[in-house]
Amino acid sequence: MKHIPLSLKSPKALKAATGVMQAYGKTVALSIILAGQLSLCLPMQTFAQPQVLHLQKATDALSVRQLWVENKTAPTGIATQHPRLSWASSSGGQNVMQTAYEIRLATSQADVQKGKKLYWKTGKVNSGSSRHVLYEGPTLKSAEKYYWQVRIWDNQGHQSAWSQPASFLTGFLSKTDWKAQWIEPGYTEDPQLRPSPLMRKDFVLHKKIKSARAFITAHGLYEAFINGKKIGKGFLTPGWTSYNKRLQYQSYDVTNLIQGGKNAIGVRLGNGWYRGYLAWGDTHNIYGKTLGLLFQLEITYTDGSKSTILSDGSWKSTTGEIRYAEIYNGETIDHRMTQKGWMLPGYQDQDWTPVKTVRAGYDNLVTTENELVEKHETFRPLKVITTPKGEKVLDFGQNLVGWVVVHLKGNAGDTIKIFHAEVLDKAGNFYTTNLRKAKAEDQYILSGKGQETFEPHFTWHGFRYIKVEGIDGPLNPEDFTAVALYSNMAQTGHFSSSDSLINQLQHNIEWGLRGNFLDVPTDCPQRDERLGWTGDAEVFSRTASFLRGVNSFFDKWMRDVAADQLPSGSVPHVVPNVLGDGASGSAGWADVATIVPWNMYLAYGDKKILDVQYPSMKAWVDYISSVSQDHLWNTGNHFGDWLFYHPDDDNDGSAAVTDKYLIAQCFYAHSTQLLIKAARVLGKTNDEKTYTELLQKIKKAFQREYLTASGRLVSGTQTAYVLALNFDMLPENLRAQAAKRLVDNIHRYGDHITTGFLGTPFISHVLTRFGYSDVAYQLLLQKTYPSWLYPVKMGATTIWERWDGIKPDGSFENPGMNSFNHYAYGAIGDWMYRKMVGLDTYEDGVGYKHSKIQPYIGGGFSAADASLDTYFGRLSNSWKLSADQLTMEVEIPVNTTATVYVPTTDPSSVKLGGQILENINGQAPQILDAPGTGGKFVKLNLGSGHYSFTSTFAVPTKKTAAK
């Protein structure tokens, strides 16, 4: 036994000791010593894992450590009278559940911390809710910053201290708050180059400033400055939405940029998605022909008075150093044309042209719902290369998305050109053919005035390599820095394993997300496309929800899916829709309308996205029904199992071509099933009944059309069996044989995967579900084409669009469609996190309120671990296998529960904290089979805390790893 003396001289200390005793229940023996000391007598094995026990004061043992408003940290632009407040807690104990909370809110940080001049306080509320608690206080004011704190109580008698204050800034809560006018450049534009406009305004302040808030949007892209300093950290603002229906504005606290006396506002505009060249051909000016600005600055003085600086006819306009900027083609910057000091007060702008005011209105304006695109990682060149053609090339070592910052020195008029590429060809030369018509070229013209720095503003590139022209002599790698750009979503998930190739695959999955989550989920970031393809986003959405906090990102984008949904209910191939109404309705692509909202609900426990998107979900299912015959969806054009493996010889009857209408019927059923689930969550009982009856008819139609009496599908492909099994299209008595047919197909292809975009996300899950985890591991570890590790072995640092973008001989696939940064096949990450390591959520406790921790051991791995930062705190599991000894470390967040499955080949060997299991929380552990692993699971129901398990796990003698 271990004796720990604790002082009992204060009620708090006694409370802390009581909490420790409650946490350890009957294992704690207690004796009181007269000198005011208490000794806790704990079994020695309790200390095998010190993190299990933290003896702290009551106020320290329970704490609130992170706060969110509308799923964001310290957001700006909150435009609802009832924002939702969330928080995560921590505790050193086990089985800790929140039982009550108290929130207080004020308009200053000092007031909220002192608990004075409170705008709102809840008092103690007896509730376990810690996610999406509605603000129910007095009416919020527009352009106001609020500060709030929360404290909680738990089921062990502890009360936390008040959290650190968090803040949120409201946007415009009414359209009538807008007073600014839309303004456009007043000069005559060069119709070919269309240089970026500059706009400016001087103003003078005569009072002491308390606060200043700026509200900005544009037709086109904008960068805004006050007194020469950039407003905010965002780039490519206001982002991309279905502009004619939803144009986002950004809200900024600019108090620190404003000064007493003279001030100046400067804004530069770019074509961007608004009127730039998009998609293919000569498509441009999709949303409008002229760039414009809407700018409103709200200033509050210390005496309580206010003033407003607006975009109006008093502003001036001209052009500057950005002579050309297009997303696909790049940017031309001529420093000889720089308007030096134009962002600063007192600049002489008498030669500038007055702007034009236009009536563009405010009806389509919405606040920013997602995180802005920001700068992130930077890279220095790893290699300076002279190619066989004599080109000067720099290798940054990572295929990334963003641009290169360049430091140059030379004569006035010297022109430096930078070209971007993802790969070199087999001879080692710079390769851009796969960019198609995208020039991806930045051109910099020097002023000759000493050291000069260049970087783009209104374009971006997907690249690992750059080719530099115009510099005499060798390149200095110190002059070049690559900067990664992507939406500023918090990283939430972490994964690693004992296999270095799998770790590189995980790296590639992560960088596939970073490179393609630039305000919308793009298919690829480098060629003349970069569109919000719905199918790509749909298949990757669950994986993305582990890696990053993507709920606000998808919430914003899914509103555009609904906005661009056709009156018929059909959903476009790309959103925002720049391809026209005819490009819509493909199975697996249009099903984004149902799949992404449900995946976000599962991952984050947020009913709001289901509520907001439900009409869109329903309209999509109803559309399918309207074009189906006898509940069979066998009409329309579909992409099918896009980019599936094409075998050289299909004479054996196992070709990988899957009937597109079979696929469509499976997704018809899946979307209907998700609509049923959403209706159940939202309490729409009539819809739940109606669509449940419809689902039965859809499945019967599938079985009539595509299934033989013996259980064979008309398409004998991996994708056909994967979708039929994953979406429960087959009668239960025929599912096991169908899974066997799937495995036989895999073996016929030499233990290789043959699925495309629609089959790949589900194949490993289906194999595990039906007892073939060993085969799932075979596919994961396969190193030859087609496989996930083939690109890794070929040097990939992101996920490829094709299984064989680069062939074994170094040649390339068809350059018409051969992106080397295309995240769809990265959906295998979902299986790695939810099955290999075993972090999942139950539907009775979505968002990891009730977690499922069930790892499947195999593949010759000796270790794997993953963690996920949830809205409750960190959920994690790691397992290590040494000889026949398995160690498993689990962390369960406060205010949640988990059902844990400990793998073992000898259930009697399982120990928790060094003790043989007898019962946990009054329940005897269950023993379940773990097919495909050669072992079993011991099932336990646990509350929050850290847990250390050991068990015997004898690896099967049969070799299961791929060749």
Residues in contact with 393: Cβ distance below 8 Å, sequence separation at least 6, in sequence order: 384, 385, 386, 387, 424, 430, 465, 466, 467, 468
Q: How many CB atoms lie within 10 A of CB 183?
A: 28
Residues in contact with 50: Cβ distance below 8 Å, sequence separation at least 6, in sequence order: none
Q: How many CB atoms lie within 10 A of CB 488?
A: 19
Residues in contact with 200: Cβ distance below 8 Å, sequence separation at least 6, in sequence order: 264, 265, 266, 267, 315, 316, 342, 343, 347, 349, 352
Which structure tokens are listed for 384?
Answer: 């300076």
Amino acid at 96: V
Catalytic residue among 184, 331, 441, 801: 801
* Cα Rg of the chain, angstroms: 30
**Quick check: 32 and 3 in contact, CB under 8 A?**
no
Alpha-carbon span 618 to 571, nearest angstrom: 12
184 carries an active-site annotation: no
**Quick check: 593 and 565 in contact, CB under 8 A?**
yes
Which structure tokens are listed for 897?
Answer: 């529960």
Closest CA to 780 of 935, 952, 961, 649: 961
**Quick check: 838 and 857 in contact, CB under 8 A?**
no
**Quick check: 494 and 528 in contact, CB under 8 A?**
no
Measured in whole angstroms, the distance separating CA 272 from the mean position of its chain's CA atoms is 23
Q: How many CB atoms lie within 10 A of CB 639?
A: 18
Alpha-carbon span 806 to 818, nearest angstrom: 9
The secondary structure of the chain in percent helix, strand, coil, rounded to multiples of 5, reads 25, 30, 40
DSSP, residue by residue, 770-817: TT-HHHHHHHHH--SSSSSHHHHHTT-SS--SSTTSB-TTS-BS-GGG
**Quick check: 233 and 192 in contact, CB under 8 A?**
no
Alpha-carbon span 959 to 955, nearest angstrom: 9
Which structure tokens are listed for 620?
Answer: 């999509």
Q: What are the Cα distances from residue 535, in Å, to 169, 589, 597, 642, 756?
A: 35, 4, 14, 10, 12
Query: Which DSSP symbol is given to 917?
Result: -
Query: Which DSSP symbol is given to 363?
Result: T
Amino acid at 593: A
Q: Please write down the HEC assignment for all residues of 655-706.
A: CCCCCHHHHHHHHHHHHHHHHHHHHHHHCCHHHHHHHHHHHHHHHHHHHHHH
Catalytic residue among 321, 326, 441, 529: 529
**Quick check: 370 and 552 in contact, CB under 8 A?**
yes
Cis amide prior to 786 (ω within 30 degrees): yes
Length of the chain: 963
Q: What are the Cα distances from residue 417, in Å, to 100, 330, 337, 349?
A: 62, 10, 18, 31
Query: Which DSSP symbol is given to 237?
Result: B
Classified as helix, coil or strand, 840 is strand
Q: How many CB atoms lie within 10 A of CB 629?
A: 9
Alpha-carbon span 537 to 517, nearest angstrom: 10
CA 251, 257, 260, 264: dihedral to nearest 10 degrees? -80
Q: How many CB atoms lie within 10 A of CB 745?
A: 19
801 carries an active-site annotation: yes
Q: What are the Cα distances from residue 429, in Å, to 453, 793, 818?
A: 28, 20, 17
Which residues are known to be catalytic? 529, 801
